[in-house]
């Protein structure tokens, strides 16, 4: 996660996501979409549109794939920045 983003925001691992669309349907702010691109397994994966996340965690809770979705909230400090 090298790029600067405004918190909160979801991060979806495209190689784990199977494109089931549960997170897209569960998002109250409609900030998740299905990518037109395919992942390494041949699935159209979910992706964040870049702004508007409220950090509710619905995408995380409905996802059937462990570790496919992470929601970063304000106050999160990446491990590489912790000294």
Q: Look at the chain and report how many structural domains it folds into.
A: 1
SS3 string, 40-80, reads CCCCEEEEECCCCCCCCCHHHHHCCCCCCEEEECCCCCCHH
pLDDT of residue 4: 56
Domain assignment of residue 16, yes or no? yes
Task: Note whether residue 35 is domain-resident.
Answer: yes
Residue 82 belongs to a domain: no
* 68 belongs to a structural domain: yes
Asked if the bond preceding 33 is cis, omega within 30° of 0, the reply is no
The pLDDT of residue 6 is 82
Residue 36 has pLDDT above 90, yes or no: yes
Task: Tell whether 81 is covered by a domain.
Answer: no
Residue 1 covered by a domain: no
Residue 66 lies in a domain: yes
Over residues 62-71, the pLDDT tens digits come to 999 999 999 9
Q: Give the rounded distance of the alpha carbon of 39 from its chain centre.
A: 15
Going by pLDDT thresholds of 50, 70 and 90, the confidence category of residue 2 is very low
Confidence band (pLDDT; 50, 70, 90) for 81?
low
pLDDT for 3 equals 58
Give me the CATH number covering residue 44.
3.30.70.20
Domain span at residue 63 reads 9-74
């Amino acid at each position: 996660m090298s790029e600067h983003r405004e918190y909160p925001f979801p991060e979806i691992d495209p190689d784990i996501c199977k494109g089931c669309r549960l997170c897209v349907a569960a998002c109250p702010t409609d900030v998740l979409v299905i990518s037109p691109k395919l992942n390494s397994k041949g699935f159209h994966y979910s992706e964040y549109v870049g702004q508007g996340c409220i950090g509710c965690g619905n995408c995380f809770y409905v996802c059937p794939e462990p570790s496919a979705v992470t929601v970063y909230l304000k106050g999160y400090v990446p491990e590489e920045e912790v000294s």
